[in-house]
């Protein structure tokens, strides 16, 4: 059988996978002694306490009694999570550094504590003094809000296994915690897996809601093993540009509510404030009298947004004209320009073309094709679109305009906001079948 070295403390009996000068449990120095153990026996011994509590029951005999979810203090957040925070559930929230994860979670912790529930905030990145300063600014200080600043998992497990465990545990972040029952440095795959496994298992057993903060990679994906996303009940991503005032909370996985939901926040002095009606939030102070702008009714998740698409066509002095796109995939711009040159017989060989999505938002909706085409043509002819015009639709390689998902909610939202004319495929009175018909309808004066 394979063997390995385990270091046991002669003072308190704690074990560590590697030698340390100080015992991680009792703090005594030079008390760790090496012992040779068999890996298979160690695995069985570690698994035996957990196997004793599992029971096999017929599914129809399982009790349906469960605790009701409790509120986060933000009704809009409760709605997208599925009526609030479910006791015993595990939620994972990710986002770039400085995007507002800790601020949002501290606001939730304060609201839950003010409601009379016990909250424990574990921070591996900030001191308790820093947490208190931020909590005072956010008005989140409450009698039931406790905190601990540590990077050791064993410092928080006794509080969970106490006779009165907290109702909500916030771990900021899972990459900063270490477990003596796993090898590796903090943030490694083995440590993240071990820490998350132990926390989720204990919280489900005692009925504590667990909120895990996860770091992201440079590609925007949650760092660590992919298994972490499968272990939790809900996966949330906080997105946005740190140079902008808005943040978008997106739900990718939810066992207790709908998926692909979206919530828009605005950064303020008092923390993250929910934008009640984000339908026109990203338009800003738009001037419809200028050419090269178009409004698209985009859909993200199940929520429609009115977003401005801007384009600038100017004379080029370069051998190869420049094509730049911000807020969407630039390959979409290259494709649409090729379709315009082919189907409308336009010559873009001597012009630079720049396009962007207004408000700093990033749009991946294929329905923005028609608005992007209209904005490019508006700047090319230097003719502004009608003041309350709105467009959506997908443009294929033949220049045909195709319907997109969410047509009904786009149309109802556009009518509610008073947009007219509405250019979209799907039976509307101004429905353009091709980009040629769109050109003839909007730019007859050219």
325 is in an annotated binding site: no
224 is in an annotated binding site: no
Of 97, 95, 91, the closest CA to residue 126 belongs to: 97
As a dihedral over the C-alpha atoms of residue 277, residue 278, residue 279, residue 283, rounded to 10 degrees, the angle is 130
Lateral strand order in the sheet of 303-315? 323-326, 351-357, 303-315, 293-300, 390-391, 422-423
CB atoms within 10 A of CB 39: 11
| Residue 3, beta-bridge partner list | 38
Asked whether the beta carbons of 296 and 390 are under 8 A apart, the reply is: yes
Peptide bond into 17 cis (omega under 30): no
Cα–Cα dist 408/48, whole Å:
56
Asked whether the beta carbons of 377 and 442 are under 8 A apart, the reply is: yes
Of 5, 14, 12, 10, the closest CA to residue 34 belongs to: 5
For strand 422-423 and strand 390-391, is the pairing parallel, antiparallel, or unpaired? parallel
**What b/e readout covers 388-402, taking b as 16+ CB neighbours within 10 angstroms?**
ebbbbbbbeeebbbe
The alpha carbon of 443 is separated from its chain's Cα centroid by a whole number of angstroms, namely 41
Query: Directed axis angle between helix 330-343 and helix 369-381, to 10°?
Result: 60
96 is in an annotated binding site: yes
101 is in an annotated binding site: yes
Cα–Cα dist 80/74, whole Å:
10
Cα–Cα dist 94/88, whole Å:
20
207 is in an annotated binding site: no
Percentage helix, strand, coil, to 5, in the chain?
Answer: 30, 25, 45
Cα–Cα dist 178/207, whole Å:
23
Binding annotation for ATP: 95-102
Binding annotation: 95-102
């Amino acid at each position: 059988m394979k063997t390995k070295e385990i270091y046991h403390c002669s003072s308190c009996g704690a074990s560590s996978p590697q030698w340390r000068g100080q015992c991680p449990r009792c703090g005594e120095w030079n008390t760790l002694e090496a012992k040779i153990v068999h890996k298979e026996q160690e695995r069985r011994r570690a698994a035996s306490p957990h196997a004793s509590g599992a029971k096999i029951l017929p599914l129809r005999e399982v009790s349906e009694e469960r605790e009701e979810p409790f509120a986060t203090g933000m009704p809009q957040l409760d709605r997208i999570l599925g009526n609030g925070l479910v006791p015993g559930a595990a939620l994972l929230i990710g986002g770039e550094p400085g995007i507002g994860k800790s601020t949002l979670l501290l606001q939730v912790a304060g609201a839950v504590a003010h409601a009379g529930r016990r909250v424990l905030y574990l921070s591996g990145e900030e001191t308790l003094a820093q947490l208190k300063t931020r909590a005072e600014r956010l008005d989140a200080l409450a009698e039931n809000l406790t905190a601990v600043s540590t990077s050791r998992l064993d410092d928080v497990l006794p509080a969970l296994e106490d006779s009165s465990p907290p109702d909500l545990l916030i771990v900021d972040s899972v990459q900063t915690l270490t477990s003596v029952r796993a090898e590796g440095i903090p943030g490694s795959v083995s440590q993240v897996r071990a820490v998350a496994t132990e926390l989720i298992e204990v919280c489900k057993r005692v009925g504590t809601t667990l909120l895990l903060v996860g770091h992201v990679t440079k590609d925007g994906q949650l760092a660590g093993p992919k298994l972490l996303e499968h272990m939790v009940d809900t996966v949330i991503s906080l997105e946005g540009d740190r140079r902008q005032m808005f943040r978008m909370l997106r739900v990718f996985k939810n066992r207790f509510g709908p998926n692909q939901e979206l919530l828009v926040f605005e950064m303020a002095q008092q923390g993250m404030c929910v934008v009640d009606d984000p339908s026109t939030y990203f338009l800003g102070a738009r001037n419809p009298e200028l050419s090269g702008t178009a409004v698209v009714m985009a859909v993200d998740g199940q929520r429609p947004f009115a977003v401005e698409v801007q384009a600038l066509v100017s004379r080029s002095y370069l051998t190869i004209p420049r094509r730049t796109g911000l807020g969407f995939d630039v390959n979409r711009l290259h494709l649409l320009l090729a379709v315009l040159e082919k189907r409308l017989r336009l010559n873009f060989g001597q012009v630079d073309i720049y396009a962007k999505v207004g408000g700093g938002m990033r749009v991946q909706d294929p329905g923005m094709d028609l608005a992007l085409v209209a904005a490019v043509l508006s700047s090319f002819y230097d003719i502004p679109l009608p003041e309350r015009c709105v467009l959506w639709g997908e443009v294929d390689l033949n220049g045909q305009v195709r319907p997109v998902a969410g047509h009904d909610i786009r149309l109802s939202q556009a009518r509610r906001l008073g947009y007219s004319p509405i250019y979209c495929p799907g039976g509307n009175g101004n429905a353009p079948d091709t980009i040629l018909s769109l050109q003839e309808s909007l730019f007859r004066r050219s």
